[in-house]
Amino acid sequence: MRKPIAVTTAVLAALLVLPATASATPGSGVTGTILTQKTIGHTDYTLREITIQPGGYTGWHFHDGTLYAYVKAGTLTHNKADCSLDGLYRTGRAFTEQPDQVHIGRNLGTTPLVLEVLYVLPAGSPLSEDAPNPGCDF
């Protein structure tokens, strides 16, 4: 059963305001705007613009489906759960995030980072799921 867009938007807004659980690593300096959403069959498609301010980060998280991203401005530093750098994506670059891989995105630059992201997720899945810091010192 589909949820109305207004309910989904309200839930996402509440997630940004509510305190995170003890094991989660909340982001800092991140805002997102949903540009469009559509459910086809058992798949949700969401196009979202994400801005990460200088020094900001997403917090450790994972996704239940695949993400396709384009760097509209700035540079994204992308680390995976073993703390290694798995991508340094500058303006004009595109990249993909695979399902169930814990990672963090950071803006180590001096200008805002702007991403255009297409989420392709199982219907009803959240855009992301929090994960604890796997032991990285950042």
Q: Which domains does the chain have, with CATH numbers?
A: 5-18+25-130 (2.60.120.10)
Work out the percent of the chain whose per-residue pLDDT is above 70.
83
Q: What is the pLDDT of residue 34?
A: 98
Give the DSSP letter of residue 65: S
pLDDT digits (tens, 9 = 90+) for 21-60: 345 788 999 999 999 999 999 999 999 999 999 999 999 9
As a whole number, mean pLDDT of residues 118-127 equals 98
Instruction: Report the alpha-carbon angle 108-111-115, nearest 5.
Output: 80
Are residues 57 and 104 in contact, defined by beta-carbon separation less than 8 angstroms?
yes
Looking at residue 21, the DSSP 8-state letter turns out to be P
Residue 131 pLDDT > 70: yes
Whether this model's pTM surpasses 0.85: no
Structure tokens at 42: 């058992």
The yes-or-no verdict on residue 16 having pLDDT over 90 is no
Tokens of 26: 């909340």
73-92: average pLDDT: 98
Asked whether residue 3 carries a pLDDT value surpassing 90, the answer given is no
| Long-range CB contact pairs, 10-18, < 8 A, 24+ | 12/127, 15/126
Give the pLDDT confidence score for residue 23 in this predicted structure.
58
pLDDT at 109: 97
pLDDT for res 24: 72
